[in-house]
Chain A
Amino acid sequence: MGGKQNIISLAVFIVVAAGFPWILPSEYYISILILSGITAIAVVGLNLLLGFAGQISLGHAAFFGISAYTSAILTTNYGFPVLAGIICGIFLSAIVAFLIGMPALKLKALSLAMATLGFGLIVYIFMNETITLTGGPSGFVGIPRFNIMGYDFYSDLAYYYLVASSLTVVIIISLNLINSRAGRALKAIHSSENAARVMGINVHRYKLFVFVLSAVFAALAGGLYAHYLSFVAPSAFGFHASLQLIVMAILGGMSSVWGGVIGALFLTSMPEFLRIYEELETILYGLILILCMMFMPQGLAGGLGKLAGYVSGKLFRRGLK
């Protein structure tokens, strides 16, 4: 994994994640945490693509959705075990990501944004229109809860730990990737594709690899999502959702894996707290987004890091006196 700092951050994360349910007063907060965790899995994956390889995808919610629907349909209509359903969902998303990534990743910046955006919209329209298969705009109901070898994750607490451990695994994989040969290749591609090519890096293959990997993470999140809510509808997988994932990655901070986690937690839980303002909710949400980005250009992770540095600087100086 490399770096003492990463190991410390990971340890802190595990302790905090394990302890969270004990300090929260009600089940309601746990359900918010579960959804945040599921979203975080997708955002961490997207961050690998966006923050490290410098490639944008405005259609990532499609992978989330393809997997959620595949697993939902296989388990509900064809009696697959849940785990098998999720694995099939992940496989299908990976194949689709491979096929769409092949031509799309040759495009640059905004053309790539457009291509992935178009792909996402096409998937969204098909989810809405293939009513016999997906239930159309009104959604697909009656999906079984996640269970494995006879153990049902019926309580939210159990499901929370399932999501938290999946997220931990995803984070460990990502941290390992970043500090590996492939991770360095991706960073090289981010700073200059031509320079990377000259260094003998197979640019297209690495881009495709990280695109498929991030789709796999999104698909894992999609499976966990479908078997948590037991209900899926296309509106959760449209353009808005893709944009939301991007915003989370950038707002959290693109330069670290933790940025994705913080961004997902912040933007998933914020609307719940803004709900008390009812009609002002959307306005406040927009305003917070604008102000965060104006005053914390490095994202929340960068902002928190600066705050930590400032505080420890103060403490240290005081210690010297």
Chain B
Amino acid sequence: MDLGSILQYLVSGLTVGSTYGLTALGFTIIFNATRVINFAQGEFVMLGGMLAVFFAGALNLGVFPAVLLAVSCTTLVGVCMERLTIRPVQGANVVNIIIITIGVSIFIRGVVMLFLGKDTFSLPPFFGTEALEFFGAMIIPQSIWILLITMLVLVGLRTYFNKTIFGKAMLACSFEQKAAHLVGISVDRMIMLSFAISALVGSIGGVILTPITLTSYDVGIMLGLKGFAACILGGLGNPFGAAAGGLIIGVLESFGAGFISSAYKDAFAFIILLVILFVKPSGIFGRADIERV
């Protein structure tokens, strides 16, 4: 267990963990606005990767235009999802809305399977393929890109929520919808915006990971699960806890794969997760909630 391999596992864990974190961020944003866990979140991540592959390959665009187009299309899908399936049933039971999001995720998967097929696809890396050596660990440039872009998204969101009027309005909705409504915030629009942002963030997570891990129509399920695990681990409702939770799960998995066995890497991550939940039910960064009777 030398420094080089520890560093290697750490970097690959952070790389995959970034996508988990961005997925978890998407979950959190929708949860805060609607109290619903959006099971289609993983499909946004999948759509980001698959559409980028499609635009880059079939339409013969370069990597960057394809990525941009994929991310904007997925954002549009998020908006359509809210308009067509969530807004008409406003005020319905949360459990029912969760089942609707499961339906949407099956639907999206079906559409992608129909038009893009069941094959596994890859995307060329954004810049450079030459691995850099760093204290005995080999780091591919895409990893650095992933970490950079994730940082950028986090900083962007932070500014959005703290500095802009829309961001503050969304925060207000997550605290108390009725009060937000009373001060003139359009709660409907904020919910739509939350779907747009979480689709955007999710698809970015999907698209940056695709050059490393390949993609297919069904990767959304597992990525969605990991993202959900990450936001519970970080303390549900706390966006930056969610991102940190994603990184932790990524690193746990990577060390599990490296030092225990790659077959049991997911089991290892989930066992740790269960232990943490049993010890601290509100998640690592979550406040223990005080229930009002």
- Which B residues lie within 8 Å of A126 (CB)? 267
Q: Is A313 an interface residue (CB 8 A)?
A: no
Shortest distance from the beta carbon of A62 to any chain B beta carbon, whole Å: 12
Residue of B nearest to A115 (CB): B277
Contact of B107 among A192, A195, A287 (CB under 8 A): A287
Residue of B nearest to A108 (CB): B281
Shortest distance from the beta carbon of A239 to any chain B beta carbon, whole Å: 7
Q: Measured between alpha carbons, how far is A320 from B102 in the docked complex, in Å?
A: 46
B window 84-123: CB within 8 A of A: 85, 88-89, 92-93, 95-96, 99-100, 102-111, 113-114
Q: Is B225 an interface residue (CB 8 A)?
A: yes
Number of interface residues of A (CB under 8 A): 44
Q: Is B37 an interface residue (CB 8 A)?
A: yes
A111-B236, A114-B273, A294-B89 known; 9 other A-B pairs, CB under 8 Å? A104-B278, A111-B281, A118-B273, A239-B221, A286-B103, A286-B108, A288-B103, A293-B89, A297-B96
Q: Is A306 an interface residue (CB 8 A)?
A: no
Main secondary structure of the interface of B (DSSP, over half): helix
- Say yes or no: B293 contacts A194, CB within 8 Å: yes
Chain-B contact segment, one of A18-26, A64-72, A138-146, A275-283: A275-283
- Which B residues lie within 8 Å of A115 (CB)? 274, 277-278
A window 263-287: CB within 8 A of B: 279-287
- Which B residues lie within 8 Å of A285 (CB)? 106, 110
- Which B residues lie within 8 Å of A128 (CB)? 263
- Say yes or no: A286 contacts B281, CB within 8 Å: no
Residue of B nearest to A299 (CB): B96
A window 236-291: CB within 8 A of B: 239-240, 243, 247, 250-251, 254, 279-290
Contact of A289 among B93, B103, B283 (CB under 8 A): B103
Shortest distance from the beta carbon of A241 to any chain B beta carbon, whole Å: 12
Shortest distance from the beta carbon of B152 to any chain A beta carbon, whole Å: 29
- Say yes or no: B89 contacts A297, CB within 8 Å: yes
Shortest distance from the beta carbon of A302 to any chain B beta carbon, whole Å: 11
Interface residues on B, range: 35 or more
- Say yes or no: A121 contacts B92, CB within 8 Å: no
Q: Is A53 an interface residue (CB 8 A)?
A: no
Residue of A nearest to B278 (CB): A103
Residue of B nearest to A193 (CB): B291
- 18 A–B pairs (Cβ distance < 8 Å), ordered by A: A107-B277, A118-B229, A128-B263, A129-B264, A194-B291, A250-B95, A280-B110, A282-B109, A285-B110, A286-B104, A286-B106, A287-B103, A287-B107, A289-B103, A293-B96, A293-B99, A294-B85, A294-B100
- Which A residues lie within 8 Å of B283 (CB)? 111
Main secondary structure of the interface of A (DSSP, over half): helix
- Contact flags (1/0) for B270-293 with A, using CB distance below 8 Å? 110110011001110000000101
Query: 9 closest Cβ contacts across the A-B interface?
Result: A286-B107, A282-B110, A289-B103, A286-B106, A283-B110, A290-B103, A118-B270, A114-B232, A125-B267
Q: Is B228 an interface residue (CB 8 A)?
A: yes
- Which B residues lie within 8 Å of A113 (CB)? 37
Given A108-B281, A282-B113, A290 contacting B267 (CB threshold 8 A): no
Contact of A121 among B103, B266, B291 (CB under 8 A): B266
Residue of A nearest to B229 (CB): A114
- Which A residues lie within 8 Å of B92 (CB)? 297
Shortest distance from the beta carbon of B228 to any chain A beta carbon, whole Å: 7
- Say yes or no: A122 contacts B99, CB within 8 Å: no
